[in-house]
């Protein structure tokens, strides 16, 4: 387990407005680590996300492989500070967990809309593939839940799966 990680969130918008400000305050973080291969290669977009962070919060954009290498070190820098780990999508989070990184919990925020998706909570929709991938993550011992903002109720993955008629 990474002691410094206070919140792990999947949100395709990554660092954005009130939502991220609320979560960074609620989790009391001073560092955001965005884990995404494409963004890690795009220094211009990475810079935009860095500038979008709330004041006093350091932002790091890293590729999945580099995050995993650092996370699996005994003396990982992710064991100190107060960190919010952000994934742009479920696949990136699943790859990270399957590579051996352990998280206590994972929060699902915005995933985007599309055909075949069912709303789990206001603002968050998933389809069967999303649910299957999240179940793989949960099966490693991660508590997976859906919550847009701290003021809203949290919905467990198990309840979300029931809404989809699975399990």
Positions marked active-site: 16
- Using CA atoms, how far residue 142 sits from 10, 79, 116, 124, 150, in Å, is 13, 18, 26, 19, 19
Q: How many residues does the chain have?
A: 167
Distance, CA of 161 to CA of 146 (rounded, Å): 11
Could you say which DSSP state residue 54 is in? P
């Amino acid at each position: 387990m990474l002691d410094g990680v206070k919140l792990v969130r999947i949100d395709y918008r990554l660092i954005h407005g009130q939502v991220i400000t609320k979560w960074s305050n609620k989790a009391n973080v001073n560092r955001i680590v965005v884990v995404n291969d494409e963004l890690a290669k795009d220094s211009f977009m990475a810079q935009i996300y860095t500038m979008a962070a709330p004041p006093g919060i350091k932002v790091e954009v890293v590729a999945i492989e580099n995050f995993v290498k650092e996370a699996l070190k005994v003396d990982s820098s992710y064991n100190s500070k107060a960190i919010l780990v952000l994934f742009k999508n479920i696949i990136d989070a699943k790859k990270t967990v399957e590579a051996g990184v352990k998280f206590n919990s994972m929060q699902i925020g915005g995933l985007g809309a599309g055909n075949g998706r069912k709303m789990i909570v206001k603002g968050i929709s998933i389809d069967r593939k999303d649910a299957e991938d999240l179940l793989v993550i949960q099966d490693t011992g991660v508590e997976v839940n859906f919550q847009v903002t701290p003021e809203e109720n949290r919905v467990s993955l198990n309840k979300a799966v029931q809404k989809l008629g699975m399990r």
